[in-house]
Structure formats: C-alpha cells, structure tokens
C-alpha cells in the first residue's frame, strides 16, 4: 500500500513536472515569438534608420546646394555693389570732366565774348547762359535718369537677393530642424534598439536557464522514474516469491488436510471397532461472526457419567465516538472519516481572521499540518472547508481551500486540532473507535460412557441454553 501510495505520488509529481515542462515550453515559445517580433521590429527600425540616413544625406546635399547658391548670390550681390560703386565713380568722374569742360568752355566763351563786339556780348552771354543752362538741364536730367535707373536696378536686385536669401534661410532652417528631428529620432531608435537587444539578451538568458532547469528536472524525474521502475520490479519479484511461497504453503496445507482426514477416518473406524459412544463437550467461540466448535471425549470408565456440554457464541462490533470542544466562536464542525475534508464554522457575530492559524491532524503515527494564508477571513456564520489535494476539489477561497500536496490522514483513533497564530488550541475534534462484544452461551447435560480422550470437530448442539451479553 505504501509503495502504491508512493508510486501514485511520484506519478502525480511526474504529471505536475510534465505540466510544468509544457508551461515552460509554452513560455519559451512565447519568448521566441516575442524575440521574432522584436527582430522584425528591429529590421523595420534598421530600414527606417537607413531611410532616415538617406534622407539626412539628401538634406545635407540640399543644404550644401543652398549654401553654394547663397554664396553665389552673395558673390553676385558683391559684384553688383562693386558695379554700382564703379558706376558712381564713373558718374563722379564724368561730372568732373563735364565741370572741367564747362569751365573750359566758359573760359573760352569769355575769351570769345571779350573778342566779340560789345554789342553782341549781352546777346552772346544770354545765348551762352541759355546754352549752358540747357546743357546743365540736359546733363542733370540724364544724371537723374541714370541715378534713378541705377537705384531702381540696385533696389530690385537687392530685394531679389534678400527674398532669395530669406527663402534659402527658411529652407535651411527647415532642413536644419528636420535634420535635428531626424537625429533625435535616430537616437531614440538607437536607444530602443539597445533596449530591445538587452531584452533579447535577457530573454535568451532566461530561455537558457529554463532549458537547463527543464533538462535538470527531466533528468531528475527520469532518475526517479527509473528508481520507481526498479522498485516496482523488485516488488514484483518479491510478490512472485511470496506467491510461490504461498503456493507451497497451500500445497502443504492440502497435504496436511488429506493427512488429517486420513487420521480422522482411522479414529472413526477405531471407535466403531471398539464400540465407543462419544459424548461431546463443545466450546464454540465466535468472534466477529465466526465460530470454532470442538468436542472433548473423556477417558473410558466403568460406568456412565453425566457431562456438561457448553457452546459459547461471541459476536463483536465496532462503533466510533466523536467529541469536540471549542474555546471561541470558531469550531470544528465536521472532520470527514475518509480524510476528504475538515470543516470549520464561525458561530459568532463578527468576522474572524484565520491568517496564521493551523489545523493539525494526528492519525496514529501520521500527522498533517495545514496553515492558513494571512489574507483568509471567516465571516460571521460562514463555513470554510479544507480539502485534501488528491480529492480533485475546486480551489475557491475562502469557502473551499485545497491543500497543496497534502492530504488528511485517517486511522481508527484520530485527533484534529485548530490553533491560533500564538499556538493556542482554539478547537479540537477527537474520533475514537469502540468495540462492543456480545457472548451467547448454551449448556446441556448428557450421559456417556467414558472411554478415551479424543478431540475432533462437532456442530449443531442441543440442550439447555443460556445467553450472556457482555
């Protein structure tokens, strides 16, 4: 029975380990799928990084082009400013030349006027003044037109260069901002990649640890299974040996029965030959429904004597008594005799916390101890049933609690004790076995001729009967 119990326990442990192995394999598959997903995300991130690098290269090239274009525009602006400066210098030079020509013409005209007749001097001076005024007006108009044209050209060119520089500056700022965002995104992606690589490495380490643990568990349970098989083989060999010994004993018993029957026939034939009248004194003892009658034949004498034939029948039965005590509101209302559960009841009007309380079952030399979790509470008037692990009950705390790997041992005499967190006994339940015995006796007297003392089986007594109940 112990071997079968150990085999069942080892088988259950093996099944639990197989379920754990399946759970670990499922976790491994989940981690593998997460790793594959992380790899796919990593590939996507690498592709995005490459795209951003290409975009960064393109933006850098665009920025370089913009810078080159800005430099070219700056050079053109400088050239235009130099041209304007040169035109201003030319205008100033021409103005000086024209002033010199005017001075020379004026001097020449003055000489000519001095040579001309005085009569024409005023007319000539007037005409000269008019001509000079016309030349001066014409020159000033031309200068104004040139100045306005040059200023308009300069303003238009400067506006175009300014707008173009602003556009290029806006594009450069946008490109710089996009480049900065791309760099920050690349840094965040690199950080994410590093985190995923760290998670991947930790997942690989966890997978390796789980694989090692699984291999160790498998090796351990393989060794346990091999030991169990060896023990089963040894037990089978012992059972075969005991069966062979039992068969030999049965053969010996059959031979002895045959020999006893032969001796009985010889005794009966000897009694018949010697004309012996056997008078029996039978004592029958029946325990738990079985009777063993016997006959006693006294020694032969010269006259008939009276003897007392007594037959006693004894019956016994078993009964169990259950007693319980409780110091508080919680008591043990039921302890299943088959070891399935222990039931506690709160008969008070307040909620009681059972955290740290223990149920101790002593059945002969075996003992079971169950400790409640710190969060278990028993409401007023509520029940809690603590089930054995091998019953298959559903774990539904706080009303139904299933022990882990334990069961309630049973025996003819067993005691269940409930202790609080300080170790004080709060309730007890004791179950004892009582044996009731009943004896029935029959007596009768009869005469016989004493011969010799023989012992053989006899049944169906008659005579005066008396009944004794013990």
pLDDT class of 448 with cuts at 50, 70, 90: very low
pLDDT tens, position by position, 155-189:
888 888 888 878 877 777 888 888 888 888 888 88
3-state secondary structure of 435: strand
What pLDDT does 342 receive?
Answer: 92
The b-or-e profile of 348-375 (16+ CB within 10 A means b, else e) is eeeebebeebbbbbbbeeeebebbbeee
Percent of the chain with pLDDT over 70: 80
Cis peptide leading into 36, omega within 30 of 0? no
Helix axis angle, 2-115 to 118-274, nearest 10°: 180
pLDDT tens, position by position, 251-272:
898 889 899 999 999 998 888 8
pLDDT tens, position by position, 336-395:
888 889 999 998 888 888 888 999 999 888 889 999 988 888 888 899 999 998 888 888
What pLDDT does 306 receive?
Answer: 40
In this structure, which long-range contacts are made by residues 285-294, counting pairs with CB atoms below 8 Å and at least 24 apart in sequence?
285/312, 285/313, 285/314, 286/312, 286/313, 286/314, 286/315, 287/314, 287/315, 287/316, 288/315, 288/316, 288/317, 289/315, 293/457, 293/458, 293/459, 293/461, 294/455, 294/457, 294/458
Say how far apart CA 307 and CA 303 lie, in whole Å.
13
Contact by Cβ (8 Å): 344, 332: yes
pLDDT tens, position by position, 246-255:
888 988 988 8
What pLDDT does 8 receive?
Answer: 82
Q: Give the closest residue to 385 by CA, choosing from 375, 397, 374.
A: 397
The b-or-e profile of 402-413 (16+ CB within 10 A means b, else e) is bbeeebbbbeee
What pLDDT does 222 receive?
Answer: 87
- Specify the pTM: 0.30
Contact by Cβ (8 Å): 444, 458: no
**Is the pLDDT at 465 greater than 60, yes or no?**
no
**Is the pLDDT at 441 greater than 60, yes or no?**
no
Q: Which two tokens stand for residue 207?
A: 């997978």
Provide the residue ranges of all domains of the chain, joining segments of one domain with +.
7-161, 238-273, 317-430
What pLDDT does 468 receive?
Answer: 36
Q: Does domain 317-430 bear CATH number 2.60.40.1260?
A: yes
Contact by Cβ (8 Å): 364, 414: yes
Average pLDDT over residues 44-56: 88
pLDDT class of 451 with cuts at 50, 70, 90: very low
Say how far apart CA 278 and CA 264 lie, in whole Å.
14
């Amino acid at each position: 029975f112990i071997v079968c119990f150990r085999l069942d326990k080892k088988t259950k442990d093996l099944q639990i380990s197989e379920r754990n192995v399946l759970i670990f394999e499922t976790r491994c598959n989940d981690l593998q799928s997460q790793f594959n997903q992380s790899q796919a995300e990593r590939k996507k991130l690498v592709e995005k990084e490459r795209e951003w690098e290409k975009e960064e290269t393109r933006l850098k090239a665009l920025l370089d082009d913009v810078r080159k274009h800005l430099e070219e525009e700056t050079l053109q602006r400088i050239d235009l400013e130099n041209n304007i400066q040169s035109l201003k210098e030319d205008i100033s030079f021409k103005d000086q030349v024209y002033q010199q020509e005017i001075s020379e013409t004026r001097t020449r005209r003055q000489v000519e006027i001095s040579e001309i007749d005085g009569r024409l001097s005023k007319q000539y001076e007037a005409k000269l003044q008019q001509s000079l005024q016309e030349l001066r007006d014409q020159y000033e108009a031309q200068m104004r037109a040139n100045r306005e044209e040059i200023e308009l050209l300069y303003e238009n060119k400067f506006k175009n260069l300014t707008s173009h520089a602003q556009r290029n500056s806006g594009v450069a700022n946008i490109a710089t901002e996009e480049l900065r965002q791309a760099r920050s995104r690349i840094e965040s992606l690199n950080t994410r990649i590093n985190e995923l690589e760290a998670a991947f490495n930790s997942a690989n380490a966890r997978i390796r640890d789980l694989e090692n643990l699984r291999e160790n568990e498998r090796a351990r349970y393989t060794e346990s299974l091999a030991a169990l098989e060896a023990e089963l083989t040894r037990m089978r060999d012992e059972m075969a040996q005991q069966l062979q010994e039992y068969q030999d004993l049965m053969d010996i018993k059959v031979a002895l029965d045959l020999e006893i029957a032969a001796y009985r026939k010889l005794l009966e034939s000897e009694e018949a030959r010697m004309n012996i009248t056997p008078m029996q004194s039978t004592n029958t003892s029946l325990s738990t429904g079985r009777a063993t009658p016997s006959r006693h034949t006294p020694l032969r004498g010269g006259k008939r004597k009276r003897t007392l034939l007594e037959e006693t029948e004894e019956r016994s039965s078993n009964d169990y008594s259950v007693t319980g005590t409780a110091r508080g509101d919680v008591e043990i209302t039921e302890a299943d005799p088959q070891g399935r559960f222990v039931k506690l009841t709160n008969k008070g009007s307040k909620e009681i916390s059972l955290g740290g309380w223990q149920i101790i079952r002593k059945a002969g030399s075996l003992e079971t101890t169950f400790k409640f979790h710190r969060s278990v509470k028993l409401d007023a008037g509520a029940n809690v049933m603590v089930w054995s692990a091998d019953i298959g009950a559903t774990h539904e705390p706080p009303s139904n609690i299933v022990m882990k790997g334990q069961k309630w041992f049973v025996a003819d005499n067993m005691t269940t004790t409930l202790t609080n967190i300080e170790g004080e006994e709060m309730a007890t339940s004791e179950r004892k076995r009582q044996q009731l015995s009943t004896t029935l006796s029959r007596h009768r007297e009869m005469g016989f001729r004493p011969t010799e003392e023989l012992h053989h089986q006899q049944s169906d007594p008659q005579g005066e009967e008396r009944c004794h109940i013990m």
